[in-house]
């Protein structure tokens, strides 16, 4: 499952450099996560790094992008080339 950033985002930018897949970018009002690039850090870390550093807990699972661990690992491998 990909992650999403909620309206609670305070635009602090601490999440962006933590993403190994470069899935996080500044949006018009808040930061956004590209679900096609988000693997929840599966294949890189044991926990989602953006969730770990978010000071306002504004990053949650995106119910529109339900994916198994195996699918996330495959996506990670595809992104790595």
The CATH number assigned to the domain holding 36 equals 3.30.70.20
Q: What is the pLDDT of residues 15-57, one digit of tens each?
A: 999 999 999 999 999 999 999 999 999 999 999 999 999 999 9
**Host H or E run for residue 73:** helix 69-80
Identify the domain containing residue 38 by its residue range.
Answer: 3-80
What pTM was computed for the model?
0.93
Q: What is the largest CA-CA distance in the chain?
A: 34
The CA distance from 66 to 61, in Å, is: 9
Domain count across the chain: 1
């Amino acid at each position: 499952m990909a992650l999403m950033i909620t309206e609670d985002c305070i635009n602090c930018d601490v999440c962006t450099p933590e993403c190994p897949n470069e899935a996080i970018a500044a949006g018009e009002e808040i930061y956004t996560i590209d679900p096609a690039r988000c693997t929840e850090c599966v294949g890189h870390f044991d926990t989602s790094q953006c969730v770990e550093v978010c000071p306002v807990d504004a990053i949650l699972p995106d119910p529109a992008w339900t994916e198994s661990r195996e699918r996330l690992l495959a996506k990670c491998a595809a992104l790595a080339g």
